[in-house]
A and B are shown apart, each in its own frame.
Chain A
Amino acid sequence: MSKTPQMSSRERVVEAIAHREADRVPIVIASREISIRYSGYTFADIWADGNKYVEAQARLIKDFHIDAAFDIWCTPAVDEALGAHLELPEDDAPWISQPLLKDKGDIKKLKTKIDPQKDGRMPFLLNVVRGLKGKLGENIPICAWVSPPFRTACMLRGSSQLYLDIMLDPGFVKELLETVIGPCTAYGKALTDAGADIICLSNPVANKDCIRYDHYKEFSHPYNRRMFSDIKAHKDVKIMYHTCGNWNDRFDLVTEENVDILHVDKVDLGDLKKNFGSKITIMGNVKAVDTLLQGTPEQVEAEAASCIAKAAKGGGFFLSADCTVPPGVSPDNLRALVNVGLSKGRYPH
């Protein structure tokens, strides 16, 4: 079967999500940290000047033939807009140092509506998405992050406390989830209006390492499903869910949440393709730490080739790492990953 000799990144990504074979597999990596480091910047630099982040993404994409850009994913952006204090370390990701809801009664003080054009750092983050769109044009899809309701609730309350609330006062947990779903969805919609093509979420507090299946089904699944559906009704975008940690027992739920792309951690891609490959696009999963950070280029190549062999056939696959690419990954190892995508990512027909 003859293929278009050269597609744009957008065409390639669209084909893959449609479960058709493009000219080669798309290469998509969660690239915030590595792009900042590769350009010699720190997080402080990019918070001071969002254009530097746009430049850093453009440089990484150009030098490594990567098929998508990522925004400065600030998972606690909604928490900050709701009143939590955001810490901005000199050269690290932003985070919430103190839970806002120390007492359950504090929920009454939470805002139920936010204005993404005004609140917290959202205007800055939305500008960066617009900047990426302006700089990279229509040919490079833009991925932008928002936190799902369960994770937002964990950050506002503190994960340990929220887990205890699940056991002792599930009604309160649901009240909190109902309070935060509106703001989370509003920020997701604002990202799409700013130019994001793919809305990304991760929920590392809701995996099998943390909570049991029926708790996920009760406290995370329905809220995700509703939020993703609302965002997609607002704009024709795709949803990428990064399943950080062990999700093996709950992919059946995740794939029913209006998710298009699963960015997977340590899971057998062959099994995942067999069981869920017809429903979703799989993105993964060269080991970010063991292989990309600590391994040799030869090891990266072998693992990337194995990912392609297991999951690329028929489309529905992006070549990627299993998590965020750590900032310390060498350009040689990143190049090794990309080279496998460029050379062996062509579909074998």
Chain B
Amino acid sequence: MDILKRLGEAVIEGKIGEIERLTREAIDNNYEPLQIINQGLLSGMEIVGQRFKAEEMYIPEVLLSAETMKKAVNLLKPMLVSGTFGKAGRVAIGTVKGDLHDVGKNIVIMLMEAAGFEVIDLGINVSGNVFADTVREKKPQVLGMSAMLTTTMMEMKNVIDLLKEENLRDQVKVIIGGAPLNKAFADRIGADAYAEDAVIAVDLLKEFVKK
């Protein structure tokens, strides 16, 4: 099997102990680092995303695939020409204030990175000011917000209101996600879109960046 295909398979199967050896093998076979990432590792992650959506893989398996890929990317990073990775667009994402859930957000990040986006991960319990400062200073095209609690989801509205107050709302598309949310809620608080799952989040991102 072609080494790039084997790299993709290793990501899907979470072969974290073998990925560095396979990556070195690809380098030794004169593949470019970006080619190894895009045609090997990321094509594997894309299948992981599809299997997650189809409930053939669950979070532990997906996280292991992501860790496996990360190990390979870390090996390749020093060889990459600056700016060649993550050039599809820039997105900032975080879990809103008062909410510490990050598993879903982290899966969204993995799939966004797999789709070639530069992702600024703001972490959990992110205040409105941090979201606003990031939009102002880092100028992402899209801002993603996550909330998993019925008690913290209203914080998303506070963030959007703050973006409006600070004249930043028009600079960025806002996508929200999290178990208790729905499209009606997104419309009500003035978000641009609601992402029902991680794969939809990436599709929305691609659509917004294209516009």
Contacts and interface: CB of A to CB of B under 8 A. Distances in A.
- A and B interact physically: yes
A117 B148 CA distance: 32
B181 interface: yes
Contacts of B179: 209, 244-245
B188 A215 contact: no
Interface residues of B, number: 31
B16 interface: yes
Given A97-B125, A160-B106, A323-B180, A210 B59 contact: yes
Interface string A323-339: 11111100000000000
A326 B157 CA distance: 15
A163 B182 contact: no
Interface stretch (B39-47, B80-88, B95-103): B95-103
Interface stretch (B18-26, B61-69, B203-211): B61-69
B78 interface: no
A309 interface: no
Contacts of B58: 210-212, 215
Nearest to B149: A93
A347 B106 CA distance: 47
B82 to A, nearest CB: 29
Contacts of A324: 150-151
Contacts of B149: 93
Contact of A164 (B64, B101, B102, B188): B64
Contacts of A209: 59, 179
B60 A167 contact: yes
Interface size class of A (residues with CB under 8 A): 35 or more
A166 B60 contact: yes
Contact of A293 (B59, B125, B150): B150
Interface in A157-210: 159-160, 163-164, 166-168, 204-205, 208-210
B128 to A, nearest CB: 14
A167 B180 contact: no
A95 interface: yes
Interface string B100-112: 1111001000000
A252 B185 CA distance: 33
A159 B103 CA distance: 7
Interface in A292-338: 293-294, 323-328
Minimum-distance CB pairs A-B, first 9: A326-B150, A163-B60, A92-B98, A167-B64, A212-B58, A166-B60, A289-B180, A210-B59, A167-B60
30 contacts: A92-B152, A93-B98, A97-B100, A97-B125, A159-B101, A160-B63, A163-B60, A164-B63, A164-B67, A167-B14, A167-B63, A205-B103, A210-B58, A210-B59, A210-B103, A211-B59, A212-B58, A212-B61, A245-B179, A288-B150, A288-B180, A289-B181, A289-B185, A290-B182, A290-B184, A323-B180, A324-B150, A324-B151, A326-B151, A326-B153
Given A33-B150, A290-B182, A328-B154, 9 more contacts: A93-B98, A93-B151, A97-B125, A163-B63, A167-B61, A211-B59, A212-B60, A215-B58, A290-B184
Interface of A: 33, 89, 92-93, 95-97, 159-160, 163-164, 166-168, 204-205, 208-212, 215, 244-245, 288-290, 293-294, 323-328
